[in-house]
Structure formats: structure tokens, C-alpha cells
Structure 1
């Protein structure tokens, strides 16, 4: 008689980036963020639709599950809130008065909320349901270590805050994870970075990547940048040799207030007011972004050195929101502290759902020795829903779309690569949706990296977002060394590396004194649209074994142009989650100046679509991010 398998559902919810993931005997069957289904970016809502998808993809019912696992311990988090308000009293009473009713009504009764949420998905026997609650940073650690190819690894998790912990160093060996060191609230690298996100006019918990993208516009040689860096280290954060930090709470307001910082004190410190969310970007904003980016890199490098010292491991796994800072990751990779680094592609709270399930399987349930696989167990992070040709054709009938069908994939690639080479923008929708914040070639908007106008066109006419925002190259894995100073694979777009010297253009002596937009549009390399102002690029290596369709498209583009890379940005407009369904993709295509849409084997050319010039008909208003 065949032994039954262990089936586990992981959930993250109620803070931001709600998600669900499902495992069978440790194998990841499906994972998705709730935002993709509800179209509400970074939604904290219970992941009803994501759970529904995971169950459908796996074929399991709730009654068949061995456990449902939530990604943190809510009572510990409640304890931290109470203790923080007590310690800072009488300050923070307004924040306390707002937070407590929500906690008492909802989050203290989380088991009840989870049971009710599951009931919305389907009927089940509540008496049989096993609920587990690992700690937040264990969920992060597990999300990186267990899918990694390492049998022994240091594990570094850095984020805003979990229950108490804001960063942790652990040691993964076989099936076990041992926590060696923790940094506790209110001292937090993630919250420090988020404070600057707020002060520079971006949205906390979603705008941190904009701050990272703004940093290269800072003048690395200017006195102002160096002064800002010194002010941060002298007044805001004390950095110790082991990477632990102490934040002067007299400058911050996140522990008890409703805002991140005390704006008057920051204005006095840095010499300018907080930038309004849509305010004009000035050089001092860019210089401050560069300063905090450098400080963050310094802290991350020190933490990594401490992790290596404590574990003696040659490998490192990383998770937590700060692990999405691919500039810091690139510096860490280049430092050579570890032989190999593995970063969970869904490093933020969404990945906590997966980590919670993996922690439960390996620590609570599994009796077997953990097996490792290369490159990893994430299936390229293509863990979301895919759509059949029949579903695509149903969508086409509803929207009255005009299409060309190519059953011969080589012909389809030839046509699409040709359109890219002409300077057109292509929406590329294939296979299973990505899990995590990056589009990795299944829900992507593509362009020609050689085209010096491509960054401007994508930002202003397709994405409808700030013009300074950079774009990433998707490069054939075997060609990465032709374009970039990177020898290692970067399949999840989580490493930044320099563009090769021989591809760079020489810059005028007064380059750093030019205006922001003059510098942006100055020719820097022969792959201008993916070359940032500091000659860096956020790289995705594309591998034929994990994404053969995307790989073969870029290979065809190389055959036609001699360049084995394309611009890759996520398939969405500003404020919108990455598209999930064929209808999402067609609507986004029609509401922007995108030229071509490819869904499975169906190709749509904009001028052939009915009423194609009426973008407003398809436009959806998303909240600003």
C-alpha cells in the first residue's frame, strides 16, 4: 500500500504582500501573491484567491492538507507592540489608540480569521485542521535555505521587522536551521532604508526599489554626498563591526507614531524638507539616496562577514525585504566573502508563505534526509497560473481581438524578434506566472537594449511612471560575460554588476555636474537602455532549461542583431500588479502605447485591433505606488 504524502499550505497575510504556497513532500507545487488575482497591489487581505489557485493547481482539498502554516507568530508581534508603546509612553498614544482596536478585534484572533478565510475558499472539517505558526524570520530563512542547492549554508535575513527580530544570522545544515544571532526592534536596517524612502517622497513598503534606482543619480564624488553619509552615521545610525546597528529614536517616529521620521529634525539635519510624492527630483535628493544606499551596503557586508565567521560556511542564503536590494547583493557577490550566494526570488513577505510551509515540512513533519538539487527547487520561480489556448481564444472572442496564430515556435520567434529589432515594444505572456516581485520572461514587456530611446519610451509611454526608473537586461546565460562583469548566474534578477569597459562610451569631464535628465539621456554604452548612470545593470541570466521559450526568443534576436539580450520590465503600468490573466494582458496592451502582444502562440499587432487608438476605453485607475 502506497504511503500518503505530506501536503502543506503556507499563508502570509494581514500586513502587506499576502500570498499562498503549497507543497507535497517538500516539492513546491504552486505559489502566488493575492494581488495578482484581486489587482490590488501589495494587498494585505487574506489570500483567498491565491489559496484557491494553489488548491486547484495541486488537486488537493483543504481536508487533505496535513497543515496550514501562517508565516509568523501574531502573539509575539502583539507583545512587541505593547512593550514598545509602554517603553515610549506617553508618546505614541494616537498610534496606540488606532492600532489596539484592530489588534484586539482581528489579529489577536488570527486562528479564527484564518479558519473563516479558508471557509470562503471551500467547506472543510475544522476539527481536522492543523494550524502552525513559525516565527517570521524562520519563515524567511526557510524560504531561502530549503530551496537552495546547499547542504550547509549561512543564512542572512534582513527586513523591517517580524515579531521582534529585524535581522538574523542562522546556520542551515541538512534539514535543520539554527538561529545564531538576532538584531531586534526598533533597530532595523529595513526600517532605516524605509525612513529614507519616505523622506525622499516614495511609498514605504513599495517604493524602496525606487530609492535604490535613484541612488546612481547621486554624484559619488560630491562633498554633499560624502557629508550626507557622515551625517547618517554620526546622527541616525551607529554601525558595529558585526553588522548590528543602533538607531537614534529621537529622529524616528515609526515605533509609536503614524509616520516614519520626525520631519523637522530631518530637515534640520539634511538641510531640506521631505520631498512631496510627485515633487520634482533635485540633485540633493539623488545624493541622499546614494548616501543611504552606501550605508546600507556597508551594513549588509558587515553582517555577511559576521555570518561567515559564525558559521564557517562557504555558502550564503538570503531573504527578507532587504535581500531585494540587488545593488547591495552585487557588492556582496563581488566581495568574495562566500563562494556561492543564493537569494530567494520572493524575498519579501510573500515569500514568507512559502518559507512557512517549508519550515513546517522540514522541521515539524519530515523524517527523511533533505535532498538538494541544482540550480534550486524554485522551478525558475514560475509557480503561478498558466492559461490554455482555449482560455486565450475565449478572451479573444470577448474583446473582439485580431490575432495571428503561429504553431511553429521558430516562426513566432522570428516575427517577434524582428519587431523588437525595429524598436517596437512587445508584451510577452507565456506559461506560468512568476512568484515574487520580478517579471522573469513570462509576464514581461520587452524592448531592444541597443535603442537609446527605449528607456524613455518604456517609462513614459508604456509604464506611465517616473522617467528616471531603470530597466533590466535579460541576457542569454552563456553570453553574460560578453556584456557584464559577472561570472555567476543571476536567474532571478537579484544582482547588479558593471557593464563591460569595452562597451562603455566615454563621458565628458563635467558629466556629474550636468542636470539629472541630461545625464540620463547621455550615451553611456552600446546597450544604453539597460546601462544605469554608474555603468551598472540589474541582470537576469536566461537559461534554456528553466525557460526554453524565452531563451529561444532572445537567441533568435541575437541571430538577427548580433546581441544576445533584451530589455525586460514587468508587464504592468505604474500602481498595477503584474498581469495574471490573458485579459489583464490585453487590457494593459490596449491602454498603453505597447506595439505588439504575444500570448502563448497568439500575436496581436496594435493597429489591427478594433478601436485601437482609444486607450481611455481600456484604462484602469490604479492607486499610485
Structure 2
């Protein structure tokens, strides 16, 4: 009999579900993709239904359900923190307590009730419910899904129960904790404090801060080291909590923080100034320094040259790039769903390997299946939807479709690309993507302002054929999950003119820096996705057709959504997003739609208020 394990993450942010059958990944998805509420923290009922359907199993037939957190230990941390800061934390305490006393303190009962309702069964008929620790789930998602039989594991995030940074040794089906750094000292919360101070939204705007960093200079880095954080040679650190408010207040930073950095936080949507650019650059440099020091410590302590990463800080692909180029490990693997969503996967894997003591079969291969673990829709389902909407389309076989798309892309058209199983994790990897020509110097601004409706400075990633990555980037190792930043190859760069070199701040967007300017950031870097024929053959086919047409084996690849919206999941989501934006074409499996041929529809901009700005 097969053993089926459901992993769940929920109630904090990025709720998700994952289903394992005999230790193999059957399905995984975030709740936000179904509810259309970004970073949805609610019980992931829709994601669980999808996972059960994908496995062809009823909830009552599961062998185990595993949750990625231990809420009682987290409540203990909350109480101890408030007592330590009393009476200063009274407002925060009064705000948090009703939620804990109503829901989170009794989370086990809440989970059981939600599961019973979902499964249409009595609570007594539920499968056994297990709980992992938060960082244990992160570590399990990183190591057990990796292609390594033995590796060091580093988990970095805001905070779990108590841990904010933890080190582990993964060996076979065992994960052994080594050491941890505890709340309130947190690299993730340090970065989030600067995210907040720069006027971006915590838990989603960290990507913006990272993208903004190359426009500035690290002129505040010494201030951070001297005042905010006491950093040791081994990478361990303590933070001066006088500058922060997250432990005992309702904001991330204190008035002392504002005094140190010359004024109050930037208001959301206010113009970005040089100060924000320099703050972003400064905290990014310090973050990279800490990650490198921690990695060197792990390499000294553990007899392995392989490293796995998870936790929200592991999504900092600039730090990952430096770690790959300068760090002490010969191989690096980052969990593509490194944040809390991946905790659902880690909880299930921890139960299979550690609780049930099952061996790791085939540990020499990446078990994430390219992270294509979500729903897929057949041509028949897509055609039925389009007929129902009376949406004109052409049905083309793959050879004709790829040739047509290559021609359209080369002509400057922007294409919505919807095919195969939806990605698990925050990145679009060629299943739910918006694509463009990387040679077009206007493509970045067009896609940011007319398609994504977001800030002009946000960089775009290249999806490049894995076998040709070294021709275009200073990178040889694979980066299938868009989690490594690497320099554009020197041979592909172009020299800025004397006038261009004098440009500062966001003016630097005007500079054409390489033969593929749409994906070249202001520091000549790019966030790489290597596309592999084995895990995504149709996307590989498309890029190959574009390369045959243009000589360039890469495309601009950004997620299929607008600002504040989760990545699209269904044909209805994709078609709606297509109509609302200035995308030129939409392809769903083998159905090609031209915007100019669609039924007349009023472009009412009020839809943009559906999504809270992230």
C-alpha cells in the first residue's frame, strides 16, 4: 500500500499544500493561486483539494497530515518577548493577543476542524496530525529535495518559533541540527526593516529592495555595521534592538533608526530618492557579507563541499550568486519555494524521512521536477473555455506554433505563455510566463509600465538554454529556478558613452549595457533561469526557435500577472490578465490568441483596485 502524506503551511503568510506518495512529489501549490489573494495566509483549502485530486485520493485515506510549525513554542516566544520589553510592547501585545487567543493558540483544533470540513468527515476520522518545527521544515525542503546525498544546510528567514538562522548536516535520510541564531537577532528581519524604511511592503517588497540596490552606493554600510549589528568573523551576529520596533511595536524600525539614516521612512508610492537607493545598496552588501561568513563557517565545521539553502533570505539571488562565485562550496542548491510555502513540502518530507525513517532513493537527482507541480489544463479544456467566451483563436501544432511565436517575439511583440503544470514557488519558470525579446532596449520599460503596471526600475530575468548559458553569462552551473544572479559575459556587453556614464539614479535605465539590454541590470548582472530540455521541453523548444530566428538563445521571462496579483493559475485567470494589459498575444497550450482579434471590451481601469499594491 502506498503511503500518502499531506504537508500544510498556513496562518502566517504564503499558505500552501503538498502531497507525497511514497516519498515522491505528486503535487504542490500555494493557496494564493486559487484564491487570487497574494500571499494568502488562510487555511489552504483550495490547494489541498488540488493536491488530493492530483493524487486521486480522499482526505480520509491519507496516512499523515503534517503542519510546518509548532504554534505553542511560537506563542512561548511571543510571551517571553513581550515580558522582556514590558511595558513598551503593550500596544503590540494588545493587537496580537486576540488573534492568538481566538485562533493560533488552539491551532491544532482549528486545523482539525478545517480538515474535517474539507474532507466531509468527522474529526475522529481524520488521519494522524503531526507538527515539525519551522526551520526543520525549511531544512527538509532544502536537503531532501536536493540532488545531494550529503550536504550542509543553511536556513535563513525572519523567524520561525525561535530560530532565525539555523545550520544542519544532511546525510542520507537524516538531518542533524548544528547551531542556530535566535530571535530577535534576524538577518531576514534586518532586511525587512530596510524594506519597510524604503517604503516597500514587508514580506513582498524585499525583491524590490534587492532590485534597487545597484542604482545606489553602499554609503551606509559602515553605519549598519557600527550601530545596527555586531557581526563576528564566523557570521554570527547580534542586533542593537534600540533601532528596531518589530519585537515590541507595530512597525519595523524605531525613531532612532530614522535619526541614524537622516529622516523618516519613505511613504509607499512616494518618489524614490537617492537615499533609498543607497540604503538598499548598503543593506544588500551587509547581507551578502553575513551569508558568505556563515557559509565559510559551515564549510570549516562540516566535512562536505555541498550546500543547500532555504528560508526567505535564500530568495536573495544576488547573495546566492556571490555565494556560488566566491563561497567555499563547490555545489549550491536552493529550494525554489524557499519561503513559507515551501514549508508544506519540507514538513511532508521530514515526516517521510525522519519520522517514518524512510530512505532517500535516487538522492543523486533534483526531486523538484523543475518545480512544475501545480495544475495543468488540456487543449480540450482550454478550447472549451475559449468557445464559451467566444474568444477567437488559432490552433497550431508545436512546430508551427514555435515558428510563429519566434517571429512575433523577434518583431517586438509581448506574449503571455501558459502551458503545462503551474510552478510551485514565487518564480514563473516557463509555465505561467510573460515573454519578450531581450534585444529590444525598450522592452524593460514597456513590460514594467504597460504590462506589469509596476515600478520602472524592476529588472527582468533571462530564460536561457542551459547548454548555451556560458556563452552569454559568466556562469557555468545550472540555475533552473531563477535563484542565481550572474554577470553578463564581457563579450556581450556594450560600452556606455561619456554622457551615459555621468547618469545617476534611475536615469541609468536609459543606458544600453549589452546586446540583450532588456535583461541586463545596471550593474551588468542578470537573474538567470537555465531552461533544460528534460524538465520543460516545450519552453526549451520555443527558445530554440527564437535562437534559430535571431541567434540569441534567451528570452525575457517574467511572471504572468500584474502588480499585486498572484501568478495566473487557470485559463480564465490568463485570459482576464491578457485582456486587461497591453500584451499582444496569448498562447495557452496550442491555442494562439491575438489581442486585436478579441471581442471589443471596455478598458475600465478600475480593475487595478482589485489588488492591493505590493
The TM-score range, normalised by the shorter chain, is over 0.9
Deviations 1:126-169 (A, max 9, x none): 33421111100000000010011111100000000000000100
Q: Distance in 2 between matches of 1:365 and 1:512?
A: 60
Pair 1:617–1:258, CA change in 2 (3 A)? closer
Matches within 5 A, 1:309-348: 309-348=300-339
Query: Is 1:187 equivalent to 2:185 in the alignment?
Result: yes
Query: Is 1:87 equivalent to 2:76 in the alignment?
Result: no
Query: Is 1:103 equivalent to 2:100 in the alignment?
Result: yes
Q: Distance in 2 between matches of 1:69 and 1:267?
A: 42
Q: Distance in 2 between matches of 1:541 and 1:335?
A: 20
Task: Give the alignment partner of residue 170 of structure 1, picking from 168, 171, 177.
Answer: 168
Match of 2:430 in 1: 441
Query: Is 1:113 equivalent to 2:110 in the alignment?
Result: yes
1:309 Cα deviation (Å)?
Answer: 1.5
1:617 Cα deviation (Å)?
Answer: 8.7
Q: Distance in 2 between matches of 1:97 and 1:23?
A: 40
Pair 1:117–1:92, CA change in 2 (3 A)? same
Matches within 5 A, 1:465-614: 465-508=454-497, 513-611=502-600, 614=603
Match of 2:263 in 1: 272
Q: Distance in 2 between matches of 1:78 and 1:545?
A: 45
Q: Distance in 2 between matches of 1:580 and 1:462?
A: 18
Query: Is the Cα–Cα contact under 8 Å of residues 215 and 506 in structure 2 kept in the other structure?
Result: no
- Runs of 4+ aligned residues of structure 1 deviating over 6 Å after TM superposition are none
Deviations 1:295-322 (A, max 9, x none): 0000000111111122121110100000
Number of residue pairs matched by the alignment: 613
Task: Give the alignment partner of residue 156 of structure 1, picking from 151, 154, 166.
Answer: 154
Task: Give the alignment partner of residue 228 of structure 2, picking from 222, 228, 236.
Answer: 236
Query: Is 1:206 equivalent to 2:196 in the alignment?
Result: no
Match of 1:381 in 2: 371
Q: Distance in 2 between matches of 1:14 and 1:119?
A: 17
1:339 Cα deviation (Å)?
Answer: 1.2
Q: Distance in 2 between matches of 1:253 and 1:453?
A: 41
Q: Distance in 2 between matches of 1:518 and 1:167?
A: 37
Deviations 1:401-459 (A, max 9, x none): 110001x2011000111100000000000010000000000000000000000000000
Q: TM-score, normalised by structure 1?
A: 0.96
Query: Is the Cα–Cα contact under 8 Å of residues 40 and 577 in structure 1 kept in the other structure?
Result: yes
Q: Distance in 2 between matches of 1:326 and 1:511?
A: 27
Query: Is 1:253 equivalent to 2:245 in the alignment?
Result: yes
Q: Distance in 2 between matches of 1:335 and 1:363?
A: 33
Pair 1:393–1:372, CA change in 2 (3 A)? same
1:112 Cα deviation (Å)?
Answer: 1.3
Q: Distance in 1 between matches of 2:568 and 2:473?
A: 30
Match of 1:304 in 2: 295
Query: Is the Cα–Cα contact under 8 Å of residues 587 and 618 in structure 1 kept in the other structure?
Result: no
Match of 1:222 in 2: none
Pair 1:564–1:454, CA change in 2 (3 A)? same
Relative to structure 2, which stretch is displaced further, 608-617 or 245-254?
Answer: 608-617
Match of 1:290 in 2: 281
Pair 1:180–1:417, CA change in 2 (3 A)? same
Q: Distance in 1 between matches of 2:542 and 2:345?
A: 31
Pair 1:156–1:520, CA change in 2 (3 A)? same
Q: Distance in 2 between matches of 1:615 and 1:578?
A: 21
Query: Is 1:27 equivalent to 2:24 in the alignment?
Result: yes
RMSD of the alignment, in Å? 1.3
Match of 1:41 in 2: 38
Query: Is the Cα–Cα contact under 8 Å of residues 150 and 372 in structure 1 kept in the other structure?
Result: no
Query: Is 1:60 equivalent to 2:57 in the alignment?
Result: yes
Deviations 1:350-374 (A, max 9, x none): 00000000000101113x4312345
Deviations 1:49-92 (A, max 9, x none): 00000000011111111111000100000000000000110111
Q: Distance in 1 between matches of 2:422 and 2:349?
A: 21
Q: Distance in 2 between matches of 1:472 and 1:426?
A: 15
1:516 Cα deviation (Å)?
Answer: 2.6
Q: Distance in 2 between matches of 1:584 and 1:526?
A: 34
Q: Distance in 2 between matches of 1:69 and 1:347?
A: 18
1:510 Cα deviation (Å)?
Answer: 6.5
Pair 1:487–1:237, CA change in 2 (3 A)? same
Q: Distance in 1 between matches of 2:117 and 2:525?
A: 47
Q: Distance in 1 between matches of 2:496 and 2:437?
A: 23
Relative to structure 2, which stretch is displaced further, 615-624 or 349-358?
Answer: 615-624
Q: Distance in 2 between matches of 1:55 and 1:575?
A: 28
1:502 Cα deviation (Å)?
Answer: 1.3
For 2:610, what is the secondary structure of its paired residue?
coil
Query: Is the Cα–Cα contact under 8 Å of residues 244 and 257 in structure 2 kept in the other structure?
Result: no
For 1:308, what is the secondary structure of its paired residue?
helix
* Runs (5+) with no aligned partner, structure 1: 220-224
Query: Is 1:429 equivalent to 2:429 in the alignment?
Result: no
Relative to structure 2, which stretch is displaced further, 357-366 or 528-537?
Answer: 357-366
For 1:357, what is the secondary structure of its paired residue?
helix
For 1:169, what is the secondary structure of its paired residue?
strand
1:394 Cα deviation (Å)?
Answer: 2.6
1:513 Cα deviation (Å)?
Answer: 4.5
Query: Is 1:370 equivalent to 2:360 in the alignment?
Result: yes
Pair 1:188–1:511, CA change in 2 (3 A)? farther
For 1:446, what is the secondary structure of its paired residue?
strand
* Runs (5+) with no aligned partner, structure 2: none
1:506 Cα deviation (Å)?
Answer: 1.3
Pair 1:22–1:456, CA change in 2 (3 A)? same
Task: Give the alignment partner of residue 458 of structure 1, picking from 447, 460, 464.
Answer: 447
1:242 Cα deviation (Å)?
Answer: 1.7
Deviations 1:512-565 (A, max 9, x none): 642433211211111000000000000000000000000000000000001000
